[in-house]
Chains A and B, each alone.
Chain A
């Protein structure tokens, strides 16, 4: 089995599919959690407290990091093999084939943008919340309690450049998932001529909901911070 997941092209794709599925499920959870901040800052902070520096949150973070790492490492291995398979001489004339999404041909580029966005996000939030708790401190560098996620959101998205960076990140994530979600289902064999359009529709729905959920929090908090009427 170990050999099959590393030596076979379909095995490697299965690893990409399962790790991708895991990350999509996490994104749905994270997005739902963020949307709570729109309704009630207190409720959001309760969730932050629940997901503080305790054993289940730490195990969850470690598993999540492993999922990201596996997905990322396999993406580079697959891309390297694919470039090798394409050969040294490239076509002089190339076109976009009919019905082929731009995102499907640029998954690695989009993935790299997503990872860079993740690094920025970790700097903005994880390092000022869970890491602060792990270090045994009671306030982060900004003077907030590490469980006061709502205040941190308010602070981060009061700055316009953060809003722009996060929206670019979410757009890359949306495009990545638009192809990734149905590709994941196709890879595990859950498609036929009837289901292929349906799973593409499911992918649009999932990626759309994730994008809108995340983007809404950023935009609403930016408006709240900069509009004197709110």
Chain B
């Protein structure tokens, strides 16, 4: 298969970026999208040009490192998968593919397609954890948790923190990410203890970092590679408002 790639190139955070076109030829239909970019970079290095910088790590959809806005979609045209899980057979032979970095004021471009997603780490540091005493391993059944709660918590915990939600949202809102983290802990007895403090601290940090206001478009849910539901945003709203009313 042959493709024309329209890729955003930007030397560093302070430089002005622009789109550049590249041709990739004889690509196997079973090549993954990131492998196709590896092939392009190999060609560029052989020609003495700068390779395209892009984020990647596990390449099996669990680390949340890969990003890329491909033909208007975060993580490409497929539903509920990360960029590393899409294959070139999903594109038409001869197609022009536009590849952009995440666009959000809170995710500044570092180079080419790589953005700084440290803002999500800062939100997590503000409260996305459970304080526990270190000791011997607790008994597995010491705290009974209803199956439905455990399932819901695990659904929220599937969030890999890739940033697709904020990158997709027309408001640049990180609500789905914060909601997933708050919700996954709020549904468990261990997480309830710090529930109110967590919701307030994480929302305050999200606002401080310049993310936008959620207007419930649902675009984040549609583009989330882990299919996180916006119902978790309702839970975050509940947790936050109840915590504030108790102040």
| A residues in contact (CB < 8 Å) with B | 1, 4, 7-14, 78, 81-82, 84-95, 97-101, 104-105, 107, 179, 182-183, 186-193, 195-196
Q: Decide: B213 and A192 in contact? CB cutoff 8 A.
A: no
**In the complex, what's the smallest C-beta–C-beta distance from A84 to chain B, in angstroms?**
7
Q: Decide: A105 and B170 in contact? CB cutoff 8 A.
A: yes
Q: Decide: A9 and B203 in contact? CB cutoff 8 A.
A: yes
Contacts A85-B106, A191-B234 hold; do A100 and B212 have CB atoms under 8 A apart?
A: no
Q: Decide: B71 and A82 in contact? CB cutoff 8 A.
A: no
With a cutoff of 8 Å between Cβ atoms, the chain A residues found around residue B71 in the complex are: 93, 95
Q: Decide: A97 and B223 in contact? CB cutoff 8 A.
A: yes
Q: Is B211's beta carbon under 8 Å from chain A?
A: yes
Q: Decide: B98 and A90 in contact? CB cutoff 8 A.
A: no
Q: Decide: B203 and A189 in contact? CB cutoff 8 A.
A: no
A90 to B98, CA, bound (A): 13
With a cutoff of 8 Å between Cβ atoms, the chain A residues found around residue B239 in the complex are: 189
A91 to B203, CA, bound (A): 26
A65 to B100, CA, bound (A): 45
| Total CB contacts across the A-B interface at under 8 A | 143
B 207-235 contacts with A by CB, 8 A: 207, 210-219, 221-223, 229-231, 233-235
**In the complex, what's the smallest C-beta–C-beta distance from A15 to chain B, in angstroms?**
11
A90 to B72, CA, bound (A): 11
**In the complex, what's the smallest C-beta–C-beta distance from B179 to chain A, in angstroms?**
11
With a cutoff of 8 Å between Cβ atoms, the chain B residues found around residue A4 in the complex are: 244
Q: Decide: A78 and B213 in contact? CB cutoff 8 A.
A: yes
- Having A9-B207, A10-B236, one finds 9 other A-B pairs with CB under 8 Å, namely A10-B203, A82-B213, A92-B100, A93-B71, A104-B215, A104-B216, A105-B219, A195-B231, A196-B234
Contacts A10-B240, A93-B71, A104-B216 hold; do A189 and B234 have CB atoms under 8 A apart?
A: yes
A100 to B235, CA, bound (A): 20
With a cutoff of 8 Å between Cβ atoms, the chain B residues found around residue A179 in the complex are: 216
Q: Is B23's beta carbon under 8 Å from chain A?
A: no
Q: Decide: B212 and A85 in contact? CB cutoff 8 A.
A: yes
Interface centre among B69, B211, B215 (most CB of A within 10 A): B215
Q: Decide: B234 and A186 in contact? CB cutoff 8 A.
A: yes
Q: Decide: A90 and B103 in contact? CB cutoff 8 A.
A: yes
**In the complex, what's the smallest C-beta–C-beta distance from A14 to chain B, in angstroms?**
7
Q: Decide: B213 and A98 in contact? CB cutoff 8 A.
A: no
